[in-house]
Amino acid sequence: MDKEKFQVEHPINSSKGVLFNMFSTPSGLAEWFCDDVNIKKDVHIFLWDGSEESARLVTKKRDEYVKFRWLEDEEEGLSTFFEFRIKIDDLTGDTAIVITDYAEEDEIDDAKELWSAQIDRLKQVLGA
């Protein structure tokens, strides 16, 4: 089944450097996204309550974004990814996180809710 691309955007009161650290380092990711992260070369193994999912780090740009691809999707030949992007409003200077992900059409609402819950957790961790 085809997956559809969707985005979730949340304002956040934090600096680019701090956010990039939360998206790009095992210790940062383990504070809000998952329980733990192990890295083998360019593959991040995310652990949650005893289950694990592996994703390849596709690309990252300091203080701007980090993009991953689930190995399961990669093996199926899908060009899907999930990305954490830091967006700064040119006029106000406000910071937002834009998450891009893919889900099957009937799962997009659930996926958006899950990401919103994750971002709430990130905001708690940062005190933002």
Residue 50 pLDDT: 87
Distance CA(122)–CA(116), nearest Å, equals 10
Q: Which of 26, 34, 105, 38 is nearest to 66 (CA)?
A: 26
**pLDDT tens per residue, range 27-85:** 999 999 999 999 999 999 999 998 999 999 999 999 999 999 999 999 999 999 999 99
Residue 1 banded pLDDT, cuts 50, 70, 90? low
Distance from C-alpha of 20 to C-alpha of 109, rounded to nearest angstrom: 26
User: Which of 115, 121, 78 is closest to 99 using CA atoms?
Assistant: 115
Would you state the pLDDT for residue 2? 85
Three-state DSSP state, 105: helix
Q: What is the pLDDT of residues 72-118, one digit of tens each?
A: 999 999 999 999 999 999 999 999 999 999 999 999 999 999 999 99
C-alpha to C-alpha distances, 10 to 14, 72, 121, nearest whole angstrom:
12, 28, 12
Which domains can be identified in the chain, with CATH numbers? 3-126 (3.30.530.20)
